[in-house]
């Protein structure tokens, strides 16, 4: 996968599959050389943070992309996954409010998160 926006959207979709809360993509191109995009999301507790992290890792691995570095772990309130052009931040809700990356990077444009539409049960075609 060579498109960093496509990778960011894949991360967001994987997080959504694990019921992540308030998924946000920030476009950091032109603001820093560190990465192109931040994907920021929350879990309601550390168990969900770990599940989201596992889901994002598995989804990108299926696309042939592996993180160069991961900070945090199964008991962490914040997991950082560095995929090079995309850095994923998965927070427990209170930790996200405390660190407030959205405010720190308030100059970064927000990218609309594109998720697959939900499948409606009992819908007729």
- What does the pLDDT look like over 45-68, one tens digit per residue? 999 999 999 999 999 999 999 999
pLDDT at residue 121, rounded to an integer: 59
Which of these, 4, 13, 10, lies nearest to 63 by C-alpha position? Answer: 10
Question: How confident is the model at residue 99, as a pLDDT?
Answer: 94
Is the four-CA dihedral 89, 37, 60, 82 of positive or negative sign? negative
pLDDT of residue 119: 53
What is the per-residue pLDDT for 17? Answer: 95
Residue pair 89/49 in contact (Cβ under 8 Å)? The answer is: no
Whether the predicted pLDDT of 116 surpasses 80: no
Closest CA to 95 of 72, 120, 119, 61: 72
Q: How does pLDDT run across 66-115, given as a tens digit for each residue?
A: 999 999 987 889 999 999 999 999 999 999 999 999 999 999 999 999 88
Nearest to 87 by CA among 100, 103, 71, 99: 71
Tell me how far apart the alpha carbons of residues 9 and 115 are, in angstroms, rounded to a whole number.
Answer: 8
Ordered domains of the chain (ranges, CATH) = 18-111 (3.30.460.10)
Token pair belonging to 48: 């969900």
Residue reference for tokens 């160069």:
68
| 15-39 pLDDT tens trace | 999 999 999 999 999 999 999 999 9
């Amino acid at each position: 996968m060579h498109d960093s926006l496509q990778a960011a959207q894949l991360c967001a979709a994987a997080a959504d599959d694990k019921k992540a809360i308030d998924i946000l993509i920030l476009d950091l191109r032109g603001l820093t050389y560190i990465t192109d995009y931040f994907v920021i999301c929350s879990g309601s507790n550390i168990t969900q943070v770990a599940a989201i992290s596992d889901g994002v890792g598995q989804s990108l691995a299926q696309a042939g992309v592996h993180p160069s570095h991961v900070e945090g772990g199964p008991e962490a309130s914040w997991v950082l996954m560095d995929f090079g052009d995309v850095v994923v931040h998965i927070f427990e809700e209170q930790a996200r409010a405390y660190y407030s990356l959205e405010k720190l990077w308030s100059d970064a444009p927000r990218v609309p998160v594109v998720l697959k539409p939900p499948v409606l049960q009992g819908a007729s075609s």
